Structure 1
């Protein structure tokens, strides 16, 4: 399987870690100029805002990227946890932190993400509903996914998340309420 560079770096000595994180930071700073919003993100945020449903963000990017995203696109996620929050996904701690901040149980949250091994595993470990965004079909059909990482829902675009929310959840203000699955 793929190597998780962040976990790999944690096993290194302090000087090696510092140099590695500096190299990653340079690479990410270069990428900030090309930062784009995912198609359908503003519509999904508008949908959630209209229903007073909160949204948080968990990313393995640096805080500078999150700050630029908020500034450039005007869509604020609270809380927005960057990779400076430890431990990072796939550990459930970031999602459990958001639930604690919002004072709601993870069973009233849906974790939407494009990584099976990070986002979906984080959501499942936290006890939340999970929705895999697979725009390219790289993960194959839903039924072919291993049971331990199989998301509750699978979509190929962010606008499809709206349909999942409307069809499978009672959308009460402030949180995604009990599922009707």
Structure 2
């Protein structure tokens, strides 16, 4: 049963809940989210295996991007943490799209995952068909569903920690629930999947 308070479904994603608040409520919610995200910025660290995977991508000239529901400041922090640049001096992760990133063609904020817009934009940026791209992520509801909706393959890092909302979010919907093409238990295992599948 869903928890409903003041007409708001508390099982919803925080970003959806925030959009349903009054203007004053949205301002207050934004302040809380900003405080949480500032804490994330102070405490952020890379999962074991991330640098190895990105070094491999760099060595074999494999495109890599970031699509996150966090703010752009988090993606900027990744540049410092990863520290890998390509031979032309560009950062190995490009593009890096956050929930407040703007689509340069439309001027509109890119809708957050599980909406597929950011993944489609990444494919267009790279000049690749969606079927040529693999979304790697740790959320069945955000990452895998965004990939499925875009037409991309997906690799789920299933850490055993359920970071979803139990399939109750309205933006996931009651239609098709996409399953990942591959599942691993930690980020370090991503490298094996890439190599084994010629990616």
Aligned to 2:67: 58
Is 2:190 aligned against 1:161?
yes
Aligned to 1:126: 150
Q: 1:84 Cα deviation (Å)?
A: 0.4
Aligned to 2:17: 8
TM-score normalized with structure 1 length = 0.83
Q: 1:3 Cα deviation (Å)?
A: 2.3
Q: 1:136 Cα deviation (Å)?
A: 2.6
Q: 1:138 Cα deviation (Å)?
A: 5.0
Alpha-carbon distance in 1 for matches of 2:193, 2:74: 28
Q: 1:16 Cα deviation (Å)?
A: 1.4
Structure 1, unpaired ranges of 5+: 140-146, 172-181
Alpha-carbon distance in 2 for matches of 1:123, 1:131: 9
Secondary structure of the residue aligned to 1:119 is: helix
**Does structure 2 retain, via aligned residues, the 8 Å contact 1:111–1:123?**
yes
Aligned to 2:33: 24
Q: 1:129 Cα deviation (Å)?
A: 0.7
Where do 4+ consecutive residues of structure 1 move more than 3 Å? none
Aligned to 1:179: none
Alpha-carbon distance in 2 for matches of 1:70, 1:121: 26
Q: 1:68 Cα deviation (Å)?
A: 1.4
Residues 11, 81 of structure 1: CA spacing in aligned structure 2 closer, same or farther, 3 A cutoff?
Answer: same
After superposition, give the CA deviation of every residue in 1:2-45 in whole Å (9 maximum; x if it has no partner): 42010111122222112211111112112222111011000000
Q: How many pairs align?
A: 163
2:133 aligned to 109, 112, 117, which one?
109
Q: 1:141-180 to 2 correspondence within 5 Å?
A: 148-169=177-198, 171=199
TM-score normalized with structure 2 length = 0.76
**Does structure 2 retain, via aligned residues, the 8 Å contact 1:137–1:156?**
no
